[in-house]
Amino acid sequence: MRSVIWLVLLFGVAVVAALTLGSNDGLASFYWNGWRLDLSLNLFLLILVATCFAVVTLIHTANSLTSLPRRAREWRVAQRDRSAQAALREALAEFFGARYGRAQKAAQKALTIQAQTAGLNQDGAFLALSHLLAAQSAHRLQDRRRRDEQLQQALDLSREQGSARIVEDGTRLLAAEWALDDRDAARALGLLAELGPGVGRRTQALRLKLQAQRMAGQSLEALRTARMLAKHQGFSKLAAQGLLRSLAIEALEAARDADQLRMVWQQLDPADRRDAFVASRAASVAVTFGAPEDGRGWLRPFWEQIAELAADERAALAEALVQALPGLGPEWLQRLELAQQRWPRDAHLSYALGHALAERQLWGKARLILEQVCDDRSLPLAARRRSWLVLAQLAANDGDMERRARCHEAAAMVH
């Protein structure tokens, strides 16, 4: 089929040529020093085209001959560039295969080829990536001296050459990650602080910052970073809730006195202050600093909306309130009684009500409730033991030493 097409085209060209060149009426005459040369116009045009073709061919041939050394040099550079690229790919393959010593040698080979080739040593991005890969391999081998040397060279290239600036952010992020592996939180935070505003808000940068802040004991800053990560959907909803809660509790537990605890509580996000577990822990810490009134003040909004809380939240609030009982006012009894009437089978609410009655010296009611609480195995051991001890104190107030002894013995037997 192809032969037939070419044959048709050939006939077409022959017909066009015959129609165009068939009439040979034109004449081209050339005069030179008394000589005259007459040529048909068709022959003149054919000679002119052939001459132009020959001149162009001659010029191309001359250019090819004169550019042969340059093209040979470019070929050699291209060959060395392919060798360097192959060495870098080999280094990547060895690194991902956990053969870090071989990866380091392959990366060093790529760097050597680039450095010894005049046309390639200006490729800053390639050099920076090679140094970075060599540093990563050295880090895996626990060779910190070589790692830091390669890292510094990658950073220097990133600053000096515009083509390597794209690698600078990744270099700093990797350096921060290595600092965290070395348990050097201060260095990690310093490297992350050098990142640009846009890079610093990336998920990986925020994750590293969160780890560094937790390692450095900066609980409030870690809490703010974790909240930013949660907004960027860096965690699942459940994981974010648990992390934010634990960080808020860490910040509260890091307080050294009641004034600092109040300051930390005010610095918490409103969402954290609305968490029943965070408020319960804050109240418990306040009791250790001799400020139970502050603790009860933080717990009061939750007890006023107790119907909206889950069972585990009610249990945490009950335990925190029992710890913050000293100086309890009479208004709390009504809240506790209403809650206990709403959930009569909730042992934690009965436990809190019994201890509150004992604190208000309503010993008869307190004894009836606490005796029921002590036999409820759904309560934690510490709560049951504390209830037995309160019963022992009530017995002592009544002068019943025998019942007091039995209560102490029961408290010792709780396990």
Of all residues in the chain, what percent carry a pLDDT higher than 70?
95
Instruction: Give the pLDDT confidence score for residue 286 in this predicted structure.
Output: 92
Nearest CA to 244 among 278, 295, 290, 294? Answer: 278
Mention every residue, 6+ apart, whose C-beta is less than 8 A from residue 387. 351, 354, 355, 370, 373, 374, 379
Instruction: Give the pLDDT confidence score for residue 279 in this predicted structure.
Output: 92
Mention every residue, 6+ apart, whose C-beta is less than 8 A from residue 380. 319
Average pLDDT over residues 81-96: 87
Average pLDDT over residues 393-415: 80
For 35, the 3-state DSSP assignment is strand
Q: Is the pLDDT of residue 371 over 90?
A: no
Q: Which two tokens stand for residue 112?
A: 């050597």
User: pTM of the prediction?
Assistant: 0.69
Q: Is the pLDDT of residue 376 over 90?
A: no
Q: What is the tens place of the pLDDT at every residue in 116-146?
A: 777 666 677 788 888 888 888 888 888 888 8
Q: What DSSP element (H or E) covers 28?
A: strand 27-32
Query: What mean pLDDT, rounded, does the chain reach?
Result: 84
Instruction: Give the pLDDT confidence score for residue 415 in this predicted structure.
Output: 66
- The 8-class DSSP code of residue 196 comes to -
Instruction: Give the pLDDT confidence score for residue 54 in this predicted structure.
Output: 92
Q: Is the pLDDT of residue 83 over 80?
A: yes
Q: What is the tens place of the pLDDT at every residue in 190-242?
A: 888 888 877 788 888 888 888 888 888 888 888 888 888 888 777 777 888 88
Q: What is the tens place of the pLDDT at every residue in 152-174?
A: 888 888 777 665 567 788 888 88
Query: Does residue 154 contact residue 132 with C-beta atoms inside 8 Å?
Result: yes
Average pLDDT over residues 75-96: 86
Name the pLDDT band for 23 (thresholds 50, 70, 90): low
Q: What is the tens place of the pLDDT at every residue in 42-75?
A: 777 788 888 999 999 999 888 888 878 888 887 8
Which residue in the block uniquely carries the two structure tokens 């870690």? Answer: 222
For 338, the 3-state DSSP assignment is helix
Q: How far apart are CA 361 and CA 394, in angstroms?
A: 9
How distant is the alpha carbon of residue 272 from its chain centre?
22
